Structure formats: C-alpha cells, structure tokens
Amino acid sequence: MHELYIAESILASTRESLPAEFLPESVRQIWVQVGRLDAVVPETLIFMFDAIKSSHGMPGAELSLESIEVLCRCGECGNEFEIDLPMFICPECGGGQVEVLRGRGIKLTRINAEEPEG
Ligand SMILES: [Zn+2]
C-alpha cells in the first residue's frame, strides 16, 4: 500500500514543519508535489490521507496534489526531455545513459494553518 505510506509521511512532515505555536488541529491545507515517477494514484492518496488524518491530529486538513513531469538529461548528448513512462532512452540520439533531473519524490511545498488565538 504505497499511497498509505506516502499519506503517513506527508502528515509526519507536516507536523515536523509546523511552527511550535501552531497546533496540528489548526492545519487546513497541505500542498504536495508528486513526481510522476512515483506512480502515485492521486485519488487513492487523497482517500488514504482523509482516512488517517484524524489519527494524526489533523482532522481539518485537506491535501492538494500537484503532479510534476519527469525531466531527464541524456548523458551522451546533453539533451533534456520530459517522459511520460519510465523509459529512459534519449529521443535525440537513442542513448541510454539518462539522468533524472526532476519528477521523483514527494515534496511538501506549503501548509495553510489557522492563526493561533491570543
Ligand atoms: Zn542523447
């Protein structure tokens, strides 16, 4: 259950990144970038997130996902290109020495929480 694990890490990172004066209950929205290479199903991730957010103390939090295209660079000719599938072949020269520049990993980009009272 890939998405459950990701939902748990998002909630854990949110808690860690939250300034001390904010309670986890005050979190309203969490923005996350998801690389295409992680093959996350957005609907499943949001479903899992909603299912466990209360147990992480953030019942009011909503998850917003942004899908990040996979950007690669060919080690042979230096061409940079985006891919839809994990097929690492340079479309320019056919080289197979391809480095992934972007599109891997889950990244927390923004948290919206209610201002603490007082
Ligand atoms: Zn190339």
Considering the entire predicted model, what is its pTM? 0.83
How far does the centroid of ligand 1 lie from the alpha carbon of residue 88, in Å?
Answer: 10
How far does the centroid of ligand 1 lie from the alpha carbon of residue 31, in Å?
Answer: 34
Domain boundaries, the chain: 2-68+103-113
* Angstrom distance (rounded) from CA 8 to CA 88: 30
Q: What is the pLDDT along the chain (118 residues), one digit of tens a residue?
A: 589 999 999 999 999 999 889 999 999 999 999 998 888 999 999 999 999 999 999 999 999 999 999 999 999 999 999 987 777 899 999 999 999 999 989 999 999 999 877 6
Class of domain 2-68+103-113: alpha beta
* Angstrom distance (rounded) from CA 10 to CA 110: 11
Q: How many CB atoms lie within 10 A of CB 4?
A: 15
The residues placing their C-beta within 5 Å of ligand 1, an ion, are 74, 76-77, 79, 90, 92-93, 95
How far does the centroid of ligand 1 lie from the alpha carbon of residue 39, in Å?
Answer: 25
* Angstrom distance (rounded) from CA 93 to CA 76: 8
How far does the centroid of ligand 1 lie from the alpha carbon of residue 100, in Å?
Answer: 13
